[in-house]
Chain A
Amino acid sequence: MIRFLLRRLALTIPTFIALMFITFVMVRLVPGDPIEVRRGERGISPERLAQLRHEMGLDQPVWKQFLDYANGLLHGDFGTSLVSKSPVLHEFFTLFPATVELTLTAMLFAVVLGVPAGVIAASRRGGFYDQTLMGLALTGYSMPIFWWGLILVLVMSNTLGLTPVSGRTDLINYFYDPVTGFALIDSLLSGQEGAFGDAVHHLILPMIVLGTLPLAVIARMTRSSMLEVLEEDYVRTARAKGLSWTRVVGVHALRNALIPVVTVIGLQVGGLLAGAVLTETIFSWPGVGKWLIESINRRDYPALQGGIMLIATIVIIVNLLVDMLYGLINPRIRHAR
């Protein structure tokens, strides 16, 4: 297991270097420079532009900027945002808990509903439940996040008044410090009556919107994987032994069927973070997705580079964890290496 882990870790090093280079280059390929893009019609005089570029280190040759950046990264320095002038790492981790809270709950929502839906569909293959659930999954899979989010707001919040429109707390009645950055935890810590319920209430719509796509993917994956497993000899043997259908499906088949599903869940994390960008914009959710979009608009190179690197790191770590989990669920993979 340890050798397996070390091998996987070693493989991530070239990934990081490539990533560092690509983000650095890509960010600079976007036309417009961070100083000029902030200027309105008045523009800027060449002297002042030169002065500001010098202050920001943008007048250095690109290779020198890259070496400085790489050197900073090696020392754990992600640079300083050109706009807010505060360290990128600090900005990122101020906003990151909101994104984690949103993606984790969305994932939970997707797994809790997706796996049972897939199992039910598989065990009623071709029947009413199967058709309905897979029809819904296909709809969920093809739903554009932005549209889905706005429709839910219109129906659930504006028409039915069941959920808040956006944000993380009711701004009129609750006010507490972001101790951990997780609204669910901070609301409990605040001791204010009803604050936790309010935080949950605000999480419902964004969670559904972000969780819909992975929910559909997980349901479909569970179904097809389950169908494959149900054809296996050992399932027939278990049935022949006289075990109940529920026990066969729930105990014998499910564990094996879940192996590819776990991989899919790991792969969905990247997709979830991408979806978070849109979900955070619709629901004014103060996470890193929204922050990255703003950094692009403002050509805030350090924030953009740092943000992308940090998110990529997280995706890589999650995939590493999934690989390990994979080995735990299926000992054959572990032993095969």
Chain B
Amino acid sequence: MKIRILLGAALLASSMLAANAAEAAKTLVYCSEGSPENFTPAINTTGTSFDAARPVYNRLVQFTPGTTEVEPALAESWTVSPDGLTITFKLRPGVKFHSGVNGFTPTRDLTAEDVIWSFDRQSKPDHPYAKISGGSFDYFNDMGMPDLLESITKGDDDLTVIFKLKKPNAPIIANLAMDFAAIQSAEYARYLLDKGTPEQFDQIPVGTGSFEFVAYQKDAVIRFKAFDGWAGKPKIDNLVYAITPDATARYAKLKANECQVMIAPNPADLPEIKKNPDVKVLEQAGLNIGYYAMNNLKPPFDNREVRKAFAMAVDRDAILKEVYQGAGQKATNLIPPTMWSYDESIEGVEYNPEKAKKMLADAGVKDLKIDIWWMPVQRPYNPNAKRMAEMIQADLARIGVESTLVSYEWGEYRKRMQAGEHMTGMLGWTGDNGDPDNFFGVLLGCNSEGKPNSNNIPKWCNAKFQDVVNRAVQITDQNERAKLYKEAQKIQAEEMPQLNIAHSTVYEPIRTNVKGYKVSPLGAHEFQNVELE
């Protein structure tokens, strides 16, 4: 009996100690919006899943927090050969991996083997992990890596990795800073394969990042603890993601200090949030574009003057006020002003329905009947496509153009637009890697035969524009590239293949005691430099 009492007292004392320790520990709670599909970025496509894995992993290079600039991470330096076909990465020595909560203990530091393993899984169908978790390496494929990579091999020592390319490509460095390029542990993969539980690899992440994975309860919470790794120990001890799908509930939690950082506030709540003295609303122009495309393959939109008249007829100020509720900025160029190579000298299209009407008449266009396609979903760059379509419809009626509104289920809509079935319609884009080619090359690119790529929604091919964009991809000097992209912007402004409508603004409310948090233009949520006061 006595022993039991003693044991009970000891247990109580230890739990009280634990409670005290918990109070002393600095824990940051982040109100996220959903559950990750798993913890391996290479097999994911959603921002929610990337955010969940990001504390654990590093890439060879990374985006400087709050910017789209690329800086060294696991690779402390890299060199590109003069022909642009070989990139040699020097890995940082002494980079430690985490221990897994499933009993894995690393016996060695990061080497070239881990880098090669991480990319081989995505590129080689016979890789032992290629099929684990239904392996579908969407980003690796979407960013064109199979067409770019010749091979990835070990250099002279364990800390040298050589990427051989099939053709020179400057944006590949930015690609390697993306989440899908996270470096995972080859030793951990082998350990799980030997244990017969390889599927744990994507559920219990082991990486080199600033936070170690502790636990995940589906739809409820993800827990991490600080890791004293190559980048130094973070200034918070625990990082907790509270999965809170409803935006209003997220703000209620932030207000009650149940979380200190939250994602995606309800736009309607913003005025109230901004008034709260305990909360600071960070904002930044999103790396996105919402546009209204005119199908250049369908007359009369093969005529530049008609396209310009259309652009002039649309009152974008009214759209910004009504559709974006002020949370956006009028777009002049295809890329947002925060991106390098943005051309400040270009003036936006003026709103002038009278002139537009005259231009249409001069072009000999009469009794024009068109369709306007609107997306059935809300996207970051276009919060209400239907309303936007109605406003454009009214604007066009003013210059004598009759239009009908068209929409389909999202997958169907995209497919038909990519096939060029529309006359005019809206779509948009959110940047992947902060490289201008990710906008110009993807959204207005054409193949070598002068046929538009599927994501070229205005179906516009211009030899001069294409030449400039192609050249810009192949050189590594950023200043030279910027010059070329500025030229591309001038051509676009002159030819007006589509009307750029807006770049939306991203808002992130945080508690005022959170320091060092930066909004990422790429939509990432990162906590390695965050402090709690």
Contacts and interface: CB of A to CB of B under 8 A. Distances in A.
B244 A166 contact: yes
A307 to B, nearest CB: 13
A166 B427 contact: no
A287 B46 CA distance: 22
B415 interface: yes
Interface string B402-416: 000000011110110
Interface in B10-26: 11-12, 15-16, 18-19, 22-23
Interface size class, chain B: 35 or more
Chain A interface helix/strand/loop/mixed: loop
B246 A38 contact: no
Nearest to A94: B218
A41 B414 contact: yes
B411 A158 contact: no
Contacts of B219: 95, 284, 286-287, 290-291
Interface stretch (B88-96, B165-173, B251-259): B251-259
Nearest to B43: A85
Nearest to A42: B142
B455 interface: yes
A171 B29 contact: yes
A165 B253 contact: yes
Contacts of B474: none
B155 interface: no
A161 interface: yes
B373 to A, nearest CB: 14
Contacts of B215: 175, 177
B454 interface: yes
B18 A192 contact: yes
A325 interface: no
A286 B313 CA distance: 49
B484 to A, nearest CB: 24
Nearest to B379: A41
A31 B136 CA distance: 23
Interface string B515-528: 00000000000000
Contact of A173 (B23, B249, B429): B23
Interface string B385-404: 00000000000000000000
Contacts of A150: 248-249, 252
Given A40-B430, A164-B256, A84 B38 contact: yes
B470 interface: no
Contacts of B52: none
Contacts of A77: none
A165 B454 contact: no
A173 B409 CA distance: 45
A146 to B, nearest CB: 9
B522 to A, nearest CB: 14
Interface string A281-319: 111101100110010000000000000000000000000
B242 A164 contact: no
Nearest to B443: A41
Determine which residue in A37, A48, A153, A194 has the highest number of CB atoms from chain B within 10 A of its CB, and name it.
Answer: A153
A36 B411 contact: yes
Chain B interface helix/strand/loop/mixed: mixed
B258 A166 contact: yes
Interface string A139-183: 000000000001001100110010011111001110101100000
B256 A91 contact: no
B418 interface: yes
Nearest to A170: B258
A165 B249 contact: yes
A84 B134 CA distance: 9
B184 interface: no
Given A37-B410, A158-B255, A42 B249 contact: no
Determine which residue in B18, B220, B244, B410 has the highest number of CB atoms from chain A within 10 A of its CB, and name it.
Answer: B220
B67 interface: no
Contact of B412 (A31, A85, A165, A286): A31
A193 B455 contact: no
Given A39-B45, A165-B258, A166-B258, A48 B454 contact: no
B26 to A, nearest CB: 10
A158 B256 CA distance: 6
B427 A41 contact: yes
A28 to B, nearest CB: 13
A232 interface: no
Contact of A193 (B12, B409, B454): B12
Interface in B441-495: 442, 454-455
Contacts of A153: 249, 252
A32 B240 contact: no
Contacts of A188: none
B69 interface: no
A149 B220 CA distance: 19
B35 interface: yes
Nearest to B134: A85
A84 B219 CA distance: 12
A287 B221 CA distance: 13
Interface string B229-249: 000000000001011111011
A154 B223 contact: no
Contact of B258 (A164, A177, A291): A164
A43 B453 CA distance: 12
Contacts of B197: none
Contact of A167 (B34, B133, B218, B258): B258
B410 to A, nearest CB: 6
6 contacts: A31-B412, A158-B256, A167-B244, A191-B15, A286-B220, A294-B34
Given A168-B220, A172-B240, A173-B23, 13 more contacts: A36-B410, A36-B414, A38-B46, A39-B414, A85-B38, A167-B244, A167-B258, A173-B19, A173-B22, A175-B215, A284-B219, A286-B217, A286-B219
Q: Which 10 A-B pairs have the closest CB atoms?
A: A36-B411, A286-B219, A31-B409, A286-B220, A284-B244, A165-B253, A165-B252, A172-B27, A85-B134, A171-B240
